[in-house]
Structure 1
Amino acid sequence: MAIKSEVGWTRKNEDGTKLEISARRFGREWLFFHQLKRAEDWEPIKAPPLEDWLELLDTVRRRINRRLLPPDEETRVKKMIYDRFPGTNLDEES
């Protein structure tokens, strides 16, 4: 059975506009989406920046502590970050 989960946060764009970010888990994959305004449709983010991946990792860790996600999800997200951003040091984030 696949676990489905969705988390969201707000971040600012380079030009200072606010973006609503949503990360949705389907099976073992995390898909990222963004929305500028509430009335607009969610648009997929093809290559999420490291900032979004780190926010996701933080959220996953908190959800594991509350037993909303399995403990191995942190390892999977870390692997996805290492694959996309080689040389990233996540040990200091712990």
Structure 2
Amino acid sequence: MAKAEISWKRKLPDGTKVQVYAQLVGGEWRFFQRSRRYERWERVEDPPLEDWLALLDAVRRMVPRRRYMPEDELRLRRQIRERFPELEV
């Protein structure tokens, strides 16, 4: 997995497990998901808030390890605020 990719797993409301990964391309995050290991990754055009918060948590943990710059975290927080203005991030 490249430096600009972060992955995690989550459950859908019906109990199905989903693998999710986010990829940083040109300053924008692209989200992909699949339900099984050998299925194709499908792009998620409008990811849910849960995925954005999981990504923010992962980026925050990687800043002290110098895998991401503090500016990357600030840029991500700004993107979350633009998509979800009612949320205080």
TM-score category, normalised to shorter length:
over 0.9
The residue number in structure 2 matching 1:8 is: 7
Alignment TM-score, normalising by the size of structure 1: 0.89
Alignment TM-score, normalising by the size of structure 2: 0.94
The residue number in structure 1 matching 2:31 is: 32
Any residues of structure 2 matched to 1:13-92 within 5 Å, and which? 13-90=12-89
Whole-angstrom distance in 1 between the partners of 2:6 and 2:31: 10
Q: What secondary structure sits across from 1:44 in the alignment? A: strand
Question: Any idea what the Cα deviations from partners look like across 1:32-79, whole Å, max 9, x if unmatched?
Answer: 000110110000001000100000000001111100111101110001
User: Please, which runs of 5 or more residues in structure 2 have no aligned partner?
Assistant: none
Q: What letter is aligned with 1:31?
A: R
User: Please, which runs of 5 or more residues in structure 1 have no aligned partner?
Assistant: none
* Number of positions where the alignment pairs a residue of Structure 1 with one of Structure 2: 87
* Runs of 4+ residues deviating >4 angstroms: none
Query: Matched residues, percent identical?
Result: 47
